[in-house]
Structure 1
């Protein structure tokens, strides 16, 4: 009966009262924070932006203050701390899983299109002038690979305590790729313009178009790369 209130309390985000904590600062720490805010103001930081930083720093300063450690010992010189705040990298916005998967789908589509196009070019003088998989099979394989890598990237960025075990992820990815390959092969057995092998220039067009879409998505939404970079 006592577990539920505890869990609910943990789920509620703690609100930091900046003004209250400022009143608890020692003279040295108060001077440190004053100088820090003055530097941030000189760099055109708004009051709201400064308050957000203080909500992060003040609890740490108060905790260290109770232990006899001033802010200078905790963070170093005020100019050094201010510089680290001003130039620290911005946090990436959380991107939906489906958008990462879609972006990587277009990337893999461009890779497959390029490979099939080059292969078709070198085999263009052979009797079978069309080689490679059809458009539907190509897109299906690209989607399987794209969403598999998107899941892996999302998994790899989580804390170790919050993610599945490595062997489970590897087994799952292998199974997904095998099923996707089987499905792509089954689709290729259907005779239609979008499932039959295409001429090599068409593959190169697919490669260019899908890479262009991948480039625009990555630039527009600041998406991570193939290996979460």
Structure 2
């Protein structure tokens, strides 16, 4: 097995190191880990020779180790099963964040417009672009910064700041561009419709989260990261 490890590229070596640590976390013994590695290392080397990364072959470290995790349902003190939201499918995590942003923006915009008759509601394109682009940004921040930190990987702070600044500038630029669209294109819906749209977005998000157990990217940004 040592011969295979010596042949690994830097990226594949890092991948093996991460999955080894994750296997330890889920309770695998040294012998079990050696058995797992002895099975996958030849496959990784073979794929490496074909310029295929271990991540592309076996999935992300969390996806790979999930195959070996004990299938035990978590329960609370009353014995009721606890739902775990651990589905990290990119499209679902993006959609979850986007629907949350759409719901919050629509409700805030609609309610404020009702409270102040001089206030205006945003056009439908503006609301959708602001929300779904924000969803992309939130997911990228989770994937490129916070997930790596949680896995124990160091992300240089200049890189973190640069990602956040670029993401914010993109969001502001697109927001400004959509606001300038004529109302014939960027239709401004009635205040009540905006509120209903916001409530519907949050309702759909709740349904999808419960149905697919989606991990919230936005919630993950505020959680403590691993050392």
Shorter-chain TM-score bucket reads 0.5 to 0.7
| Residue 103 of structure 2 corresponds to residue 102 of structure 1 | no
Deviation (angstroms), 1:224:
2.0
Query: 1:138 and 1:149, CA in 2 relative to 1: closer, same or farther beyond 3 A?
Result: same
| Residue 221 of structure 2 corresponds to residue 220 of structure 1 | no
**Hey, what does 1:156 align to over in structure 2?**
146
Conserved 8 A contact 1:113-1:207: yes
TM-score of the pair, normalised by structure 2:
0.57
The gaps in structure 2 that reach 5 residues or longer are 17-26, 35-69, 76-82
Query: 1:224 and 1:164, CA in 2 relative to 1: closer, same or farther beyond 3 A?
Result: same
Deviation (angstroms), 1:184:
2.0
Choose from 194, 203, 217 the match for 1:203. Answer: 194
C-alpha offsets along residues 108-159 of structure 1, whole Å, 9 cap, x if unaligned? 00000011011110123x4xxx713211111111122212222222331332
**Hey, what does 1:47 align to over in structure 2?**
none
SS of residue matched to 1:160: coil
SS of residue matched to 2:7: helix
Query: 1:137 and 1:4, CA in 2 relative to 1: closer, same or farther beyond 3 A?
Result: same
SS of residue matched to 1:190: coil
- Aligned-pair RMSD on alpha carbons? 3.8
Q: Distance in 1 between matches of 2:158 and 2:211?
A: 34
Query: 1:146 and 1:59, CA in 2 relative to 1: closer, same or farther beyond 3 A?
Result: same
The gaps in structure 1 that reach 5 residues or longer are 14-54, 63-83
Deviation (angstroms), 1:217:
1.6
| Residue 133 of structure 2 corresponds to residue 140 of structure 1 | no
Higher relative contact order by CA 8 Å / sep ≥ 6: 1 or 2? 2
Matches within 5 A, 1:158-197: 158=148, 159-161=151-153, 164-193=155-184, 195-197=186-188
Conserved 8 A contact 2:99-2:202: yes
Query: Larger C-alpha radius of gyration, 1 or 2?
Result: 1
C-alpha offsets along residues 39-84 of structure 1, whole Å, 9 cap, x if unaligned? xxxxxxxxxxxxxxxx93362799xxxxxxxxxxxxxxxxxxxxx9
C-alpha offsets along residues 170-222 of structure 1, whole Å, 9 cap, x if unaligned? 32222222222222221222224551433211110110111112112211111
Deviation (angstroms), 1:100:
0.6
SS of residue matched to 2:88: coil
Q: Distance in 1 between matches of 2:89 and 2:130?
A: 21
Conserved 8 A contact 1:97-1:151: no
